[in-house]
Amino acid sequence: MGLLDKVDNLDDEKTVNTVAKKAQPKKAVAKKAVAKKAVAKAAKPAKAAKPAKAAKPAKAPREKRIRPSGLPEGYELAGKMPRYIGWLINFAWNFGLAIGLLAIMATGSPSDLTLPIAGSLLMIIVNWMVLPIWTGRNIGEFVSRSKYINGSGNKPIQIHAVLNSSLGFMGLIGFILMFVYFQDLGKSGLVPFIIGALMIVFWIVNFFLKKNSDYSQGIFDLAFNSYLVNHVATGTETGWLARFESLGDFGDKWQKKQAERQEKAVKKAEEKAQAVDETPDADISED
């Protein structure tokens, strides 16, 4: 019986295995279905790719602002005569009354000079700071019809006019300090004397630098790229500015007189030269 049971069991296992093997094709069918789905998915049109964002245009490099150098076009440098007239007027305005007051004080006069001294200081401040800051010009430049411009043809910054006007005061104050403290060099007067000497040296350097410069520029003119040029009034000035502009008429008359004097001097020199050339010929003919 045992053998028959084993044979029956073997037959059962075979049938089970064959049934299992028959069932396997179903999985293959499922795999085929999955493959069909994959093919179907692949057959679907792919989504259109998003267009790439346009690249931002590169920013153009900023142009470097080149500071203009040299005298701008359309302007003419002030000549020697306008410069001389401007210097002389400024000197008379700033120091004329002050020198007169110092002379009176040196004589020991007991008169009260408070008001004249205050008036002298007011004149100096107006020409040294008020007018240069307000208009960019001082009294001497109004009379000589001249003005300062920078490399762009515009009015320089206000500090330039103030520093330029300070050069005359610097030289005068330096001379006074050296004169007053010369006898006290061994004591407390050495430092003021040195300060005065430095002021005079600075003024001398500025003078020779302006004299030998191609554009007649001093220390502050070179530092601020400024030029003293001839000024032409626009005719639209009103009020106090128009009155200051009218001072140029006095300067024009002065320049005409100076030009006439120079012409007369040249004619006299030529006549003298001709007379000298003719005298030897006359002496030879007489011999």
pLDDT tens by residue, the chain, 287 residues: 444 444 444 445 444 444 444 444 444 444 444 444 444 444 454 454 555 555 555 555 554 444 455 788 889 999 889 999 999 999 999 988 888 888 888 787 777 888 988 999 999 999 988 998 888 899 999 999 999 999 888 989 989 988 998 888 888 889 888 988 888 877 788 899 999 999 999 999 999 999 898 899 999 999 999 999 999 888 788 888 888 888 888 888 888 888 888 888 898 888 888 888 776 555 555 55
Domain ranges of the chain: 80-261
Map residue 212 onto helix, strand or coil.
Answer: helix
Do residues 139 and 168 lie in contact, with contact meaning Cβ atoms separated by under 8 Å?
Answer: no
The β-bridge partners of 100 are: none
Spatial contact of 143 and 161, defined as CB atoms under 8 Å apart: no
* Rounded Cα gap, residues 127 and 124, in angstroms: 5
CB-CB contact of 161 with 138 (8 Å)? yes
In whole angstroms, what is the distance from residue 189 CA to residue 193 CA?
6
What pLDDT score was predicted for residue 21? 45
- The answer to whether the pTM exceeds 0.85 is no
pLDDT at 38: 44
How far is Cα 257 from Cα 224, in angstroms, rounded to an integer?
Answer: 34
Based on the number of CB atoms within 10 Å of its own CB, is 286 exposed (0-12), middle (13-18) or buried (19 or more)? exposed
Q: What distance in Å separates the CA atoms of residue 157 and residue 36, rounded to the nearest whole number? A: 87
